[in-house]
Amino acid sequence: MAYKILLFMKRRPDLTVEAFREYYETRHAPLAQRYSRGVRRYLRRYIDPQPHPETGAFLDGPDVITELWFEDEAIYRAALGYITTSLMPAEIVADEKALFDRSSFRIATVVECESAGVGEG
């Protein structure tokens, strides 16, 4: 069983999508990895908004959904407790300020359900 923490984040408004993604991949992700003990997977899912036929443009969502995966429940709970009650180390906060609109940060956990037979035959 995998335990997941999702981080929904927006880029700083003065950064282009390309500059945001480049900075995240080449600078922020390697920095964050140094502080990510016990994380099994560290995924960044970059969002490319698409219009909806009834509701229109998707303007208020995040630019990235970051997934932190854990196999060990105790490590997961400790990480969740830390990120929901403590500020990150000063080095991380300073780097986040160069990249994100930190006021947009949202944190969630996940319960996954998968339908059997989808995609078969």
**Model confidence pLDDT, tens digit, residues 33-54:** 999 889 999 999 999 999 889 9
CA distance 13 to 17: 9
Whether 64 shows a pLDDT value over 80: the answer reads: yes
Task: Classify residue 24 by its DSSP letter.
Answer: I
Whole-model pTM above 0.85? Answer: yes
Mean pLDDT of 86-95: 93
Half-sphere exposure of 45 (CA within 13 A, CB side): 11
CA distance 39 to 3: 10
Best CATH choice for the domain 3-109 from the list 3.30.365.10, 3.30.572.10, 2.60.40.420, 3.30.70.100:
3.30.70.100
Edge to edge, the sheet with strand 100-109 lists 41-46, 64-70, 3-11, 100-109
| CB neighbours of residue 9 within 10 Å | 21
CA proximity to 73, closest of 38, 106, 41, 43: 38
Q: Which amino acid is at 15?
A: L
pLDDT range class, residue 111, cuts 50, 70, 90: confident
Whether 21 shows a pLDDT value over 90: the answer reads: yes
Task: Compute and round to an integer the Cα radius of gyration of the chain.
Answer: 16
Mean pLDDT of 54-61: 84
